[in-house]
Structure 1
Amino acid sequence: MTDAKLLLEPGQVIRPIIDHEQVKLLAERLYGISVLDLTELNGYDDKNYKLTEDPNMKNPLITNHSPYGYVLKIMNSIDSQNVGVVEAQNEIMNFLATRSVTCPKPVRNIFGHLHSIEDLGGKKHAVRLLEYVPGELLKNCPLSEALLYQLGEFVANLDNKLQNFNHSGLVSRQHMWMLSMVPELEKFKYVIKDSEKLDLAEEVIEEFKYAVVPRLDELEKGVIHGDINEMNVLVLPKDAGASDYRISGVIDFGDIQYSYYVFELAITMTYMMLMSGDPRVGGLVLAGYTVTKRLPDEEYRLLKTLISARLVQSLILGAYTLEQDPKNTYVTSTEKANGWELLRKIRKTKPTENGDPTDWKAIANEFLTRS
């Protein structure tokens, strides 16, 4: 049974309200860090700040200083109520770090805890400190075929490793960005004012209800990252001065969930298509993924509906977020510019002499034959 209090409802503002001076005071009070430099990073419902320590202020409580600085994460007021989820996020990072996955690592506060609950602007928010992981965000790099293939491979490897991770805090977790919550978008669709776009969104939501929901019990399940996108994947140049890149790590475990592996794949494919505006790139991600992790045919057949559903989810919740918080920079211009057009392409495209750009299996096979 879903706890309604822990699901976003229309009209709710859940993002933390805090200024830079308060952030510095939090870092000093909770972690003994004297902040030399502070930069706000992107965040959807959470707030994230990159901190650099003042090297002249030595804190005996921190024995291992992060050479690249820290990220202070202030979670939204809904997720902060679920302490099990906060603990699971900390544990999953430590779990992956010991299994050769580059990701942030949580830092204990002066009380010896990996998080604390703080009252900010009249609401309670979980506050954590993570070691900053160096690297370029994928969104700032050209999407080569090799990089897209490698991303699919990386995500499959990540999910394979997570088969051995369990946490009680994730078993019953539900939040609006889980793909399984697509039917709940009904209450937010009022934000779509254009009738043609609304018709398209309603068509996808209905298709999800009859094509995906009845089959959920048949899908392979486990803990997934839940939000592999161009803002959450780190890359590094292959060699010094090189113009091509390799996947180097993953950040932001705010959407971890006990869910379906095919959802992880669909979400990854969706964001790469959004970034490029081209449905064909999904086939390159699929190629890398399926070389490492098997995808049953019945799950492959759900991909078009799942990808369409993620686009609709992103477009509706993105529009809702901007309505509540017009200055939110995380709802990217790419998403606004490409999202509806990409959805139309995926839903309406007919095969041409160059093939069907949504026949991702054929595109994957063709790439693997060439490589």
Structure 2
Amino acid sequence: MKEDGSQVLEPATVYRPVIDHDGVKLLAERLYGISVLELIELNGYDDKNYKIIEDPNVKNPLITHHSPHGYVLKIMNSMDSQNLDVVEAQNEIMNFLITRSVTCPKPVRNIFGHLHSVESISGKNHVVRLLEYVPGELLKDVPLSESVFYQLGEFVANLDNKLQNFNHSGLVSREHIWMLSKVPELDKYKYVIKDADKLDLAEEVIEEFKYAIVPRLEELEKGVIHGDVNEMNVLVDLKPGGSKSDYRIAGIIDFGDIQYSYYVFELAITMTYVMLITGDPRTGGLVLAGYTVTRRLPDEEYRLLKTLISSRLVQSLIIGAYTKEQDPNNTYVTSTERAKGWELLQKLRKSKPDPDDDPTNWKAIANEFLTRS
């Protein structure tokens, strides 16, 4: 972390916590009085997340309101653990949204009455938190449908509308390499792209961000955003009375990337990950349809979407390759996902002289979907 509070990835440094299951069980017992019956490691990019089921035969006086579905013990990476103001903001934003009928994890106080603690693990300081586990399936694990993507757009717009009333001083100055506004800094890490054609494509997008987005940032509406709405952070469940494939958006998890940024960035990030899991740029229009029904998107911001989405892809591809190079054991970053990313990026960058045949004409796709719905 630099003196100004911004975070810079350092070569040959592993930020993820290094801990085994026995160590996790000891943390849960020491900090929360939990005797672990079942422990499952969950996905995490640079943090460690564990689902915990308590042993019901062991009385725990430290937690008075027990979560019926278990807990998630989160051990943050050593870089993010340095910024405790952001940790506090993450806890507060979850409690804020819960009181506004948004389904998300609820932080649990430890034996000291705090919502987090800093623990030394394998010689590094890591923030440890316990959250109530929220039941539901992840978006990545259910059948994909136009309806779900439309609902996701609605959900994100509603989320941003609610977050207009949330502020936290710890987020105002937060700088993080995964923030979309940090795309120009990818120049420092682009050397990890060894393929010349891919590197040319990445450089083209980074330069486009510099001249098409950066000069307009002051014109965009700002506020606190989730910052990482993707298929592994969105919860879904079956609609009451619906078929076995009739899913609805149910909630949101993982607030590790919350930031004071631009609402159009939230939309662009959401559209990016939907298109990434489908491989079809047109599906971004379904997200846009749901979003714009609930929240206004000015024309000047709509015109930035293609560059923003391309930039998010490049950001993910470069940082993913860099992370894999520095930490080969990080299974979160897969070669398959990177291959899909490059393929999608190439589709987005191809020019389409006929607007009716342009899969990135998301406004037309959104209007067509709304008309037939």
Give the letter for the 1:288 counterpart.
G
Paired with 1:236 and 1:351, the residues of 2 have a C-alpha distance of 40
Secondary structure of 2:287's counterpart equals: helix
| Unmatched runs of 5 consecutive residues or more in structure 2 | none
Question: Which residue in the other structure is 1:76 paired with?
Answer: 77
Q: 1:125 is paired with a residue of what secondary structure?
A: strand
Within 2, Cα distance between the matches of 1:169 and 1:211? Answer: 29
Are the aligned partners of 1:6 and 1:81 in contact in 2 as well (CA < 8 Å)? no
SS at match of 1:273: helix
Cα distance per residue 1:54-104 (max 9 Å; x no partner): 000111111100000000000111111101000000000000000000000
Letter matched to residue 290 of structure 2: G
After TM superposition, the structure 1 stretch with the greater mean CA deviation from structure 2, 51-60 or 332-341, is 332-341
* One-letter identity of the residue aligned with 1:320: Y
Match of 2:330 in 1: 328
Match in the other structure for 1:12: 13
Aligned pairs for 1:256-335 within 5 A: 256-332=258-334, 334-335=336-337
Equivalent residue runs for 1:32-47 within 5 Å:
32-47=33-48
Q: Distance in 2 between matches of 1:346 and 1:189?
A: 20
Deviation at 1:9, TM superposition (A): 2.8
Between 234-243 and 212-221, the greater mean CA deviation after superposition = 234-243
Percent sequence identity is 81
Is the partner of 1:126 in helix, strand or coil?
strand
**Is this contact kept in 2: 1:15–1:77, CA < 8 A?**
yes
Task: Tell me which residue corresponds to 1:121.
Answer: 122
Please report how far the alpha carbon of residue 5 of structure 1 lies from its aligned counterpart in structure 2 after TM superposition: 6.3
4+ residue runs over 6 A deviation: none
Q: Does 1:202 align with 2:240?
A: no
Whole-angstrom CA distance in 2 between matches of 1:187 and 1:151: 34
The equivalent of 1:139 in structure 2 is 140
Aligned amino acid, residue 360 of structure 1: W
- The alpha carbon displacement at 1:337 in A equals 2.8
Conserved 8 A contact 2:5-2:173: no
Distance 1:362 1:356 in 2: 9
* Match in the other structure for 1:245: 247
CA separation in 2, counterparts of 1:217 and 1:144? 36
Answer whether contact 1:103 1:250 (CA < 8 A) is retained.
yes
Structure 1 residues 185 and 124 mapped into 2: Cα distance closer, same or farther (>3 Å)? Answer: same
SS of the residue 1:330 aligns to: coil
CA distance in 2, matches of 1:228, 1:298: 23
Residue identity in the other structure for 1:35: V
Cα distance between partner residues in 2 of 1:139 and 1:123: 33
Q: Deviations over 1:142-176 (max 9, x none)?
A: 22111100000000000000000000000000101
Distance 2:159 2:355 in 1: 36
What TM-score comes out, normalization by structure 2 length?
0.97
Q: Which residue of 2 aligns with 1:185?
A: 186
Shift of 1:320: 1.0
User: In 1, distance between residues paired with 2:286 and 2:369?
Assistant: 7
Q: Which amino acid aligns with 2:15?
A: I
CA distance in structure 2 between the aligned counterparts of 1:197 and 1:6, rounded to whole angstroms: 26
Letter in 2 for 1:47: K
2: CA distance, partners of 1:333 / 1:245: 29
Q: 1: CA distance between counterparts of 2:295 and 2:28?
A: 41
Q: Which SS does the other structure have where 1:6 is aligned? A: coil
User: After superposition, where does 1:69-108 map in structure 2 within 5 Å?
Assistant: 69-108=70-109
| 3-state secondary structure, aligned to 2:357 | coil
Equivalent of 2:342 in 340, 343, 349 = 340
- Out of 365, 368, 371, the residue aligned to residue 367 of structure 2 is 365
Does the 8 Å contact 1:10/1:187 carry over to 2? Answer: no
* Matched AA of 1:270: T
Gapped runs of 5+ residues in structure 1? none
Instruction: Give the whole-Å Cα distance in 2 for the aligned partners of 1:4 and 1:197.
Output: 32
Give the AA of the match of 1:256. I
Aligned alpha-carbon RMSD (Å): 1.4
The change in CA–CA distance for 1:353 and 1:362 in structure 2 (over 3 A counts) is: closer
Structure 1 stretch displaced more, 238-247 or 326-335: 326-335
Q: TM-score, normalised by structure 1?
A: 0.97
- What is the alpha-carbon distance in structure 2 between the residues aligned to residue 31 and residue 333 of structure 1? 38
Q: Deviations over 1:234-267 (max 9, x none)?
A: 0001136521100000000000000000000000
Q: State the partner residue of 1:52.
A: 53
Count of aligned residue pairs for this structure pair: 371
Q: Distance in 2 between matches of 1:358 and 1:141?
A: 25
Letter matched to residue 193 of structure 2: I
Return the offset for 1:351: 4.6
